[in-house]
Amino acid sequence: MNEPQITLASASPRRAELLRQIGIKFEIRPSNILERQLPRERPEDYVQRLARAKACAVQHDSLPALGADTIVLLEGQILEKPKNRSEALTMLKSLQGERHSVLTGLCLSDGQREQSVLATAEVVFRDAMPGELEKYWESGEPIDKAGAYGIQGLGAIFVAGICGQPSTVAGLPLVETNQLLSEFGVNVWRHREAMLSGGPRH
């Protein structure tokens, strides 16, 4: 009953938590592929290519592998994970009072076929108060986040509005993930009934 239904090609604790949230059993196999945009490659093609590469790199036996990649896009410029404090603060300052896009590419592969999908959300940041961005950096949260913030964590205090799924911004759009798993024959409700049975009855 506890055997994995899929392989997650990511070490991201956020993606793992989102899968647990919807009752999917999985094993983790980070892909460790090189994440670098190709010359003249469009952002939407970039995230989908990386998602496919991650899924295909870890797929084994007949277990479907799920790959995902997320980028923040501001005025056509990709903001990926910051390398240091200076880069993180530069990114965060550029987002203040602005609308930006978050793109997450997904791919599911079972060794015989693969299917990709792209999810997009629009996010608006409020203007930060003096010293807020520096304190946010000191929290440690920005260092491994695309765009230097996490909507599922402390970074949510900067988000004034969002159009799209919050899970897209967090790195794993749940509507599209559920759809892909269902199309590949994964019984997405297998463990959900047990989750629901422990909840309150009305």
Distance between CA 77 and CA 82 in Å, rounded? 14
Q: Which two tokens stand for residue 79?
A: 């903001």
Tally the residues of the chain.
202
Strands 159-163 and 114-125: antiparallel
Answer yes or no: are the C-beta atoms of 98 and 74 closer than 8 Å. yes
Q: Which residues pair with 101 in a beta bridge?
A: 73, 122
Of these residues, 45, 61, 69, 110, which one is catalytic?
A: 69
Spatial separation of the C-alpha atoms in residues 154 and 118, rounded to whole Å: 26
Give the C-alpha separation, 186 to 18, whole Å. 17
Closest listed residue to residue 33, CA positions, set 13, 66, 9, 8: 9
Known catalytic membership, residue 69: yes
Task: Return the exposure string of 125-139: e unless at least 16 CB atoms fall within 10 Å of the residue's CB, then b.
Answer: beebeeeebeebbee
Would you please indicate which residues are annotated as catalytic (active-site) residues? Answer: 69
